[in-house]
A and B are shown apart, each in its own frame.
Chain A
Amino acid sequence: MVEKSRAPGLSWYMQRLTALLLVIGLVGHFIVLHYTKLYQDKTSLAADSTAERFGSSPLLWLLFDGMLLIAAMYHAMNGVYNIASDYSPSPTFRRGLAWLLWVVGLAGSVVGLLLLGRFLAMGN
């Protein structure tokens, strides 16, 4: 049976919105961590530069990295759900997967936020 076409739901918009946030977030992330800081600080990799970065402008980096974390988590979990949806899974499978993805996404976000707190402490 062919599913009736519907207007795109909230998650369709959110996938594209988070995509645009990730363009800003990841380009910044790569420039700061991989192209600039890493090469000034070769031996201890990013530890000193992370501390220095969070020490110099804590609020900016907390917001920037927090935005990146949440956008990436949402985009990744929603992306997996979209891929699974392509295989027309049963409603039970859909519900189970949605639960699992929420748990993984929230757990990852909490660990990520705790890490940002730790980086803030390293900067002080």
Chain B
Amino acid sequence: MARESLSYTRELAKNAHEGMLSFLLQRLTGLGLVAYLILHIFSLSSALGGEQKFRDSLSMYNSPLFHVLEWALLAAVVFHMFNGLRIVAVDWFGATRYQRMLFWVAIAASAVVVLGSIPFFFMWR
């Protein structure tokens, strides 16, 4: 696995283009989100032990550290979503010609949502 990740970075350095960057970011965010999904269901399962346990476990997440992690999670979800829509557009709607431009559209759209969410995650709570 370590050698593989090294070959990914080497590939990216040698052959830097949007397709490689898109592939790498989609894979990394995807793996992160799988790990998160499992943890998410596991942590919510405290609710099966009663409403009070659910409240206690939720209040634990109401801290500055978890707010930052939540925001990082948003970034991973939003990029994976916009870049995934680009993949569907290429596979199903014949957008292959525009795939390079669409990658930057996905990056820009992600940046707008993630930066625009700063007040929600850090200022208004």
Residues on A close to B: CB < 8 A?
Answer: 16, 19-20, 22-23, 26-27, 30, 34-35, 38-39, 42, 44-47, 72-73, 76-77, 79-80, 83, 87, 104, 108, 111-112, 114-115, 118-119, 122
Contact = CB atoms under 8 A, between A and B. Distances in A.
Interface stretch (B11-19, B31-39, B94-102, B103-111): B31-39
Contacts of A112: 41
B interface secondary structure, majority: helix
A117 to B, nearest CB: 9
Nearest to A122: B51
B88 A20 contact: yes
A111 B120 contact: no
Interface in B14-48: 27, 30-31, 33-34, 37-38, 41-42, 44-45, 47-48
A28 to B, nearest CB: 12
Given A16-B91, A19-B88, A115-B44, 20 more contacts: A16-B87, A16-B88, A16-B92, A19-B87, A22-B81, A26-B77, A34-B121, A35-B120, A39-B124, A44-B55, A44-B58, A45-B62, A73-B37, A76-B34, A76-B37, A79-B30, A87-B4, A111-B48, A118-B47, A118-B48
Which 7 A-B pairs have CB atoms at the shortest separation, nearest pair first? A45-B58, A76-B34, A47-B55, A118-B47, A19-B84, A108-B41, A76-B37
Contacts of B125: 38-39, 42
Interface residues of B, number: 36
Contact of A83 (B27, B59, B61): B27
A47 B51 contact: yes
A interface secondary structure, majority: helix
A119 B47 contact: yes
Q: Which residue, of B30, B44, B47, B87, has the highest number of chain A Cβ atoms within 10 A?
A: B47
A38 B34 CA distance: 24
Contact of A23 (B37, B54, B85): B85
A18 to B, nearest CB: 10
Nearest to B50: A118
